[in-house]
Structure 1
Amino acid sequence: MPDTKYCYPDTDVLINKLDIRDLDKLHIFERKLTMLRLLELLDKPINGKFDFKHLQAIHAYIFQDVYDWAGKVRTVDIAKGNMFCNVRFISSQADVIFSGLKEEHYLAGLDEDMFIKRLAYYFSEINALHPFREGNGRSQREFIRSLALKNGYLIYFDRVSEEEMLLASQKSFLCDYEDMEKIIAKCIKKK
């Protein structure tokens, strides 16, 4: 069934600020603009409380030049191989995820092995939530990068391929976080 809420009629092209209706051109435009915003965040991360509003603020910043709905919770169900969180449960599941992170003191004080395990867990859970219509991966990675930075770590996600990330994400849907832990371990470095 076509997405009539977010896409131009009879297409899978997301309605965007420049009214680009060609999917390939939109991908190029989106990648260039979001890459610039992500580069800005390397120098000045979004301040926040590492809660759902913080994730939304990150998404809003990264996608502000592309979509009017940047930072807003999606209102349709989406899937990419696996079905992401049902739209009716995004708010309640976000509460569970981010209150858990708060209860764990945002992972402060953990030894490196445990930090990697818990970071992989939260990365996976936020991925399963997939609260935005598009741009979840970039927003999640920036959120996780900022959380790691707060805890004295740097993360270089360019050390893993998209395929490795996709496979680890798929396994994490089944609560198998081992591959995601390996990815985080491969990407992380003490500051």
Structure 2
Amino acid sequence: MFSHTAFLTARYDGQSEVTLREEISRIHAELFAVLYEHAGQFRDVDMTKEMPHAPGEYSVFLSYTLIPESLDQIDAAVRAYQWDSASFDEKTQMLAKVHAMLDYVHPFREGNGRSTRIIMENLAKANGIVLDWSAVPPYLVILSSAEIFRQTKARSIRPLEVLYQRIASPRP
């Protein structure tokens, strides 16, 4: 249900000249150009979002003023990671970490989840992993992402690590 690679493939693999900042903007623009005037443009307001499973609790996203710099920092971390020498489990943990960081940055007003999943599919594929979002119910993907905001004080991304353990498999 969540796979978007049938019609849009990310070029970002953490190694090429394409930066994360450029690629997530391009993907968002291609996905949402017919819906939003601001498709592909980073948000220019601070945002919070009520948690789907915890009414009255909110996810507080990174300040919009820090989005470009933060995407560049995530890009640098992806490029510095030793993907070739990492085990499958280490790679899935890193993918969960990158996903968590992108969730916190929340660069767009809408459509962050879809844009992030495309980025993550390609990053995983470039590093020998296939992500099968249909292996879990769609609400579990949303809950796993939202739950990390409840874990902020403990700095735990465990909900996304568990999710990636369920959706990731070695690429044949």
Q: Is the structural similarity TM-score above 0.5? A: yes
> Structure 2 CA distance, aligned partners of 1:64 and 1:145?
21
Q: Find the partner of 1:95 among 55, 66, 72.
A: 72
Match of 2:6 in 1: 39
Q: Please give the TM-score of this superposition, normalised by the length of structure 2.
A: 0.79
Q: Which amino acid aligns with 1:153?
A: I
Deviation at 1:74, TM superposition (A): 0.7
Match of 1:129 in 2: 105
Contact preservation (8 Å) 2:43, 2:64: yes
Deviation at 1:36, TM superposition (A): 10
Contact preservation (8 Å) 1:50, 1:147: no
In the alignment, structure 1 residue 112 sits paired with structure 2 residue 112: no
Match of 1:62 in 2: 31
Match of 2:60 in 1: 83
Residue range with higher mean Cα deviation, 138-147 or 109-118: 109-118
Match of 1:163 in 2: 139
Match of 2:40 in 1: 71
In the alignment, structure 1 residue 145 sits paired with structure 2 residue 121: yes
Structure 2: runs of 5+ lacking an equivalent: 13-17, 50-57
Deviation at 1:83, TM superposition (A): 1.1
Deviation at 1:37, TM superposition (A): 6.6
Contact preservation (8 Å) 1:37, 1:62: no
Deviations 1:40-80 (A, max 9, x none): 12xxx132435211111111111122222111111111211
Deviation at 1:166, TM superposition (A): 3.2
Aligned length: 153
> Structure 1 CA distance, aligned partners of 2:156 and 2:168?
20
**What is the CA RMSD across the aligned residues, in angstroms?**
2.1
> Structure 2 CA distance, aligned partners of 1:73 and 1:108?
32
Deviation at 1:120, TM superposition (A): 0.3
Q: Which has the larger radius of gyration?
A: 1
Q: Which amino acid aligns with 2:113?
A: G
Contact preservation (8 Å) 2:3, 2:133: no
Match of 1:187 in 2: 167
> Structure 2 CA distance, aligned partners of 1:65 and 1:160?
29
Deviations 1:111-146 (A, max 9, x none): 101001110000000011000111000000010001
Pairing 1:5-24 to 2, within 5 Å after superposition: none
Deviations 1:76-123 (A, max 9, x none): 112112111111111222222221111115x34421010011100000
Q: 1:97 to 1:132 in 2, by over 3 A?
A: same
> Structure 1 CA distance, aligned partners of 2:137 and 2:48?
21
Q: 1:104 to 1:65 in 2, by over 3 A?
A: same
Residue range with higher mean Cα deviation, 175-184 or 129-138: 175-184
1:39 aligned counterpart, secondary structure: coil
Deviation at 1:158, TM superposition (A): 2.1
Q: Please give the TM-score of this superposition, normalised by the length of structure 1.
A: 0.72
